[in-house]
Amino acid sequence: MGGRARRRAGGNDSRRARRACVATAKHTVLRPLWLGRDAITIRAASVPATPARMRPTWAEVDTAALANNLAVARRHVGPACRVLAVVKADGYGHGAIRAAQALISAGAWGFAVSLVEEAVELREAGIVAPIVVLGGVPLVAADVIVHRELRPVVWSVDHLDMLASAVRRAGARPVRVHLKIDTGMSRLGVLPSDLTPVLDWLVADAGRTVELEGAMTHLACADDPADEISSARQLDSFDDCLGTMTARGIQPALRHACNSAGMARFRPAHYDMVRPGIALYGAASARDVELAGLQLAMSMHTQVHGVRALPAGARVSYGGRACLERDTKLAIIPVGYGDGYPRAMSGQAQMLLRGHRCAVIGNITMDICMLDVTDLPDVRVGERVTLLGRQGAESIDVHELAAWANTVPYEITCGISKRVPRIDGGDT
């Protein structure tokens, strides 16, 4: 047999070998034909169904708490003031779609996100309420903004030109926008000294392609009760700009300045609408500016993965920084900074087990923590451990976690990674 024929025959054998896989209900039989008639039969167990959740770590999102927190905000601002619910960063880690669905049912006027992609996600989930895109108009996003009927925040003539061109291309109705004025945050927005060209553009357009629905600013120090001056100066500047706009015949229907802290502290600055974010999830940037009656909307839990008995003097985790002062029982906890449990909390963090506080020992690693359970008898694999939330009479909230990590509460919930599935449910 020639070389070409041999290669053809070998190829046929390979194809027959791949096809010689006889499936049954109980197992799969593999018969490698190239070993001949007496080949050993290899039996492989059929692949089991994959459980919906195998890793015993999860976060519970309480949609009733979200509704409660919106009700608290609405009572605080009164019936004449609309609530623009901020659901950026995947709803501060709670799940943007889940949060939006709960909040729209509870009476939110609309939603604020940072990115056009975040807005598209909500639209594709069936959210038809107004969506304000806080992050401006990216160079390639104008057509999507118009098509999805989003309401972008603008602060430049370039933004307006891009949107007008997209409206004309689509033959669409005017796009609604919110003009952001930088009164002291020094981040996004048009400076008051640069406002005239933007107003000139709006006057010339006369609403043919762009409708100015809102005017807004953002307070830099609203969460600092010791600083009354900075926010007052910003609000004075904002009022001056609104006066300039009125003098040009421009009167946006929705004026807004307050985030959660501003909403709590500055009643005269509620204007027509407020933009609470973290308050809707049951917290605040600082305890001093937290509204009464809020309920924590997220809790985070795991289960004991194993228990180890170690003698006094043993060193624990990377770097051996923790040296046990007594004979100790350590529970292995399958959570680490890869899940958003910050390594910076090493040496300070605590968790709840059986309603008692237990100290995290040693450095928090990517996937694992070690918990001192010496004072709890007979801790067993599978017992529930709470990292954030309540167990019995004890609770750990985002303020406490943030203090251990030397960060802000926002970073705690936003940082919980996608390795931690979110499920519906209250704190139990």
Same domain, 193 and 110: yes
Same domain, 84 and 222: yes
Same domain, 317 and 350: yes
Among the options 88, 92, 337, 410, which is catalytic? 88
Structural domains in the chain (count): 3
Distance between CA atoms of 312 and 379, rounded to whole angstroms?
A: 19
Q: Of 289, 322, 339, which residue is a domain's last?
A: 289
Q: Of 265, 289, 313, which residue is a domain's last?
A: 289
Which residue is it, tokens 């598209």?
120
Residue 52 domain flag: no
Going by C-alpha positions, the residue among 271, 299, 259 that lies closest to residue 73 is 259
For residue 310, what is the domain's CATH number? 2.40.37.10
pLDDT along the chain (428 residues), means of 10: 50 48 42 47 63 85 98 97 98 98 97 98 98 97 98 98 98 98 97 98 98 98 93 98 98 98 96 98 94 97 98 97 96 98 98 98 98 97 98 96 97 97 78
Same domain, 106 and 243: yes
Same domain, 169 and 63: yes
* Known active-site residue 341: no
Same domain, 229 and 86: yes
- Cβ(244)–Cβ(210) under 8 Å? no
Among the options 92, 318, 337, 410, which is catalytic? 318
Same domain, 376 and 230: no
Residue 53 domain flag: no
Which residues form the domain of 8?
A: 3-45
Q: What pTM, to 2 d.p., does this model score?
A: 0.86
Same domain, 252 and 154: yes
- Cβ(416)–Cβ(354) under 8 Å? no
Distance between CA atoms of 397 and 126, rounded to whole angstroms?
A: 32
Distance between CA atoms of 115 and 212, rounded to whole angstroms?
A: 20
Same domain, 236 and 103: yes
CA distances from 342 to 172, 247, 357 (A): 47, 51, 18
- Cβ(244)–Cβ(54) under 8 Å? no
> Residue 182's pLDDT is what?
98
Residue 51 domain flag: no
Q: Around 178, how many Cα atoms within 13 Å sit in the side-chain half-sphere?
A: 28
> Residue 18's pLDDT is what?
45
* Known active-site residue 271: no
Same domain, 83 and 106: yes
Point out which residues pair with 331 in neighbouring strands: 307, 371
Same domain, 209 and 152: yes
Same domain, 164 and 305: no
> Residue 108's pLDDT is what?
98
Q: Of 227, 257, 289, which residue is a domain's last?
A: 289
